[in-house]
Amino acid sequence: MGLPGGRHLCGVAFAGREDAEHLVAHADSALYRAKELGRARHEVYNEDLREAAARRPLMERTLRAAPTLS
């Protein structure tokens, strides 16, 4: 039995060697991925999300530099 509305989302991260701050950040990344993929779903933090997070700073620097390239 679910809650009304069908918009339930959940991000999950399993504790390993990470401290609490990293664990919450990983769960948050999984939650944002669930939001991207649609309603009524859950996502578990995994290697794909870790790699995407590692690429994000480079992408942000590239986008910030783009106006100066033209």
Does residue 2 form part of some domain? no
Does residue 63 form part of some domain? yes
pLDDT at 3: 54
Does residue 4 form part of some domain? no
Residue range 16-51, pLDDT digits in tens = 888 999 899 899 999 988 998 888 889 999 988 888
Burial class (CB in 10 A: 0-12, 13-18, 19+), 13: buried
Does residue 49 form part of some domain? yes
Does residue 1 form part of some domain? no
HSE-CB at 50 with a 13 A cutoff on CA atoms is: 7
Q: Is the pLDDT of residue 7 over 90?
A: no
Which residues is 44 bridged to in the sheet? 12
Domain count, the chain: 1
pLDDT at 21: 92
Does residue 39 form part of some domain? yes
What's the domain range around 63? 9-69
pLDDT at 27: 92
Does residue 3 form part of some domain? no
**Model's pTM, two decimal places?**
0.67
pLDDT at 1: 45
